[in-house]
Amino acid sequence: MTHVVMATARAGRLAATALGLLLATGLAGVAEETPAKELFGAERAPAPLEARAIGSYARGCMAGGVPLAVDGPSWQVMRLSRNRNWGHPDLIALIERLAEDATAEGWPGLLVGDLTQPRGGPMLFGHASHQIGLDADIWLTPMPDRRLSATEREEMEAVSMLAEDSRKVDPQRWTPAHHALIRRAASYPEVERIFVHPGIKKALCDGAGDDRGWLRTVRPWWGHHFHFHIRMACPADSPGCEPQSLPPPGDGCGSELDWWLSDEPWTPPEEPAAPRPPMTMSDLPRECQVVLEADAPLDSAPPPRPRP
Ligand SMILES: [Zn+2]
């Protein structure tokens, strides 16, 4: 009898332990499997740490991000509801400088699209890169000479530079000021790449004359005919930032561009690639967990309660 009771008790304990283990691993499993885009997409404030870019452009996060002001002397931020006007301080300084320099190129000011979330990381929708605070989308639509309302910034649509059903720019839309704006952005040494639609690259190649060194920085890519994309090199303060190799030497106006303008890159593969599972925290650099968990700055904490 005693023997049976003891055995039962032990079995019960074992079952409880097993249940506990199951629950613990089950819960941990859920946390580990949460897509990182949900975690980073929910952060409303930057990580109050020293500024640095962590990881690679499409697999990383950002500490110490700062916001680009939604209005500047010659820029306006679009789609404010997305809260993606954050970046490494060097990126913010670069955009402010480009906005100023653009006016000297006959471009009336920048409409600024997505930069990065407050703590970087993968996004719930829209971009594979833009994760470490060094990427920025700038509209190819000039800034109107008035302050846009919040509603207009949500609803206004950018204009494609391409002619209807074509991989070439529409000469009615593509202007010397577009050319000058992109050339200026590509001229900064800290800008490593600029992504544009191949049709825009072709227009830049054709219009560049003898001044061609900057064209190396401008890379053809899908999309990017409503906006262009500026990517900065890893800043000196960010040892954990994974640099990309430099673009191949030359202006990129030859056979590579011919390929981009051919049908091949635009023909869908016969067997589409299986969708990749969303990134989880274990896919990101370990430091991104620190970035995610860092307390919000004091001024965003609730006010202290008065003592009785
Ligand atoms: Zn972009």
Residue 264 has a pLDDT of: 94
CATH of the domain at 177: 3.30.1380.10
Residue 233 in any domain: the answer is yes
Q: How far away, in angstroms, is 127 Cα from ligand 1 center?
A: 7
Residue 117 in any domain: the answer is yes
Q: Mean pLDDT in each 10-residue stretch from start to end of the chain (308 residues)? A: 45 49 48 89 96 97 98 97 97 98 96 98 93 98 97 96 94 96 98 98 97 97 95 97 95 96 92 89 97 77 49
Residue 5 has a pLDDT of: 45
Q: How far away, in angstroms, is 160 Cα from ligand 1 center?
A: 15
Q: How far away, in angstroms, is 135 Cα from ligand 1 center?
A: 7
Which residues keep their CB under 5 angstroms from ion ligand 1?
137, 229
Residue 269 in any domain: the answer is no
Residue 111 in any domain: the answer is yes
Q: Is 61 helix (H, G, I), strand (E, B) or coil?
A: strand
DSSP H helical ranges for 133-190: 150-155, 176-187
Q: How long, in residues, is the chain?
A: 308
Residue 75 in any domain: the answer is yes
Residue 30 in any domain: the answer is no
Residue 182 in any domain: the answer is yes
For residue range 102-145, list pLDDT tens digits in order: 999 999 999 999 999 999 999 999 889 999 999 999 999 999 99
Total domains present in the chain: 1
For residue range 193-227, list pLDDT tens digits in order: 999 999 999 999 999 999 999 999 999 999 999 99
Cβ 131 vs Cβ 43: under 8 Å = no
DSSP H helical ranges for the chain: 2-33, 36-41, 89-104, 150-155, 176-187, 198-207, 255-261, 287-293
What lies within 8 Å, CB to CB, of 106 at 6+ separation is 176, 177, 180
Residue 86 in any domain: the answer is yes
Instruction: Tell me the residue range of the domain where 179 lies.
Output: 45-263
Cβ 284 vs Cβ 55: under 8 Å = yes
